[in-house]
Structure 1
Amino acid sequence: MILEAVMLQVKLGMEEEYEKAFRQASEIISSMKGYISHELQYCLGVNGKYLLLVKWETLEDHTVGFRQSTEYQEWKRQLHHFYDPFPTVEHFKKVHLS
């Protein structure tokens, strides 16, 4: 399992509109092959700042299957105009400690 972590900065004053758009766009990502789950967290200390966490079965499910799909184009259309600056996406793999 891969964890995609994205720090999102939404343009100030657009948070409510963004959250509504994100709810709708969630249907897109949740329908993709390899998708496991996702959650959006709002930062209490910085206005307009969110953390998006998405669990994928493999890295390629996100980087190829989702990012190179027609569904991603719709995701972009619905959400990318809210971001300033544009977010950086990072991927993590769990470290087994036992």
Structure 2
Amino acid sequence: MILEAAMLQVKQGRESEFEKTFKQASAIISSMKGYVNHTLHKCMEAQGKYLLLVNWETLEDHTVGFRQSQDYQEWKRLLHHFYDPFPVVEHFEHVDLAERSV
């Protein structure tokens, strides 16, 4: 499983509208092949700052399947005008820290 992490800076005064629109856009991402789940977190220290975490089955499910889909165009239309600056999106894989017997 791959974790997509995006720090979102929403334009001042647009937070409520963003959150409402994000609920609508959530239906788009959650319908995509390889999508597992997602959460949106609002920063307590910085106004307008959000952290989006999305779990995907594979990296390609996000970078190709979602981003090159027609549905992504609607996602962009709904959300991208809220951001300033445009978010940096990074991908992470799980590190197994379990102790193993030799």
The TM tier, using the shorter chain, reads over 0.9
Q: CA deviation at 1:23?
A: 0.1
| Residues 1:25 and 2:17 aligned together | no
1:15-54 equivalences under 5 Å are: 15-54=15-54
Gaps of 5+ in 1: none
Aligned with 2:25: secondary structure? helix
Following superposition, the deviation at residue 82 of structure 1 comes to 0.1
Deviation at 1:28, TM superposition (A): 0.1
Determine the C-alpha separation between the residues in 2 that align with 1:45 and 1:87. Answer: 18
Q: CA deviation at 1:71?
A: 0.2
Alignment partner, residue 57 of structure 1:
57
Return structure 1 stretches of 4+ with deviation > 4 angstroms.
none
- Give the equivalent residue in structure 1 for 2:77: 77
Residue type at the aligned position of 1:23: K
Amino acid at match of 1:80: H
**Paired residue type of 1:47:** Q
**RMSD of the alignment, in Å?**
0.2
Are 2:16 and 1:6 equivalent residues in the alignment? no
Distance 1:26 1:42 in 2: 16
Equivalent-residue separation in structure 1 for 2:18 and 2:97 (angstroms): 37
Query: How many residues were matched structurally?
Result: 98
The higher radius of gyration belongs to 2
Matched residues, percent identical?
Answer: 73
Using the size of structure 2 for normalisation, the TM-score is 0.96
TM-score calculated relative to the size of structure 1: 1.00
Post-superposition Cα deviations, 1:39-78, rounded to whole Å, max 9, x if no partner, equal 0000000000000000000000000000000000000000
- Gapped regions of structure 2 (runs ≥ 5): none
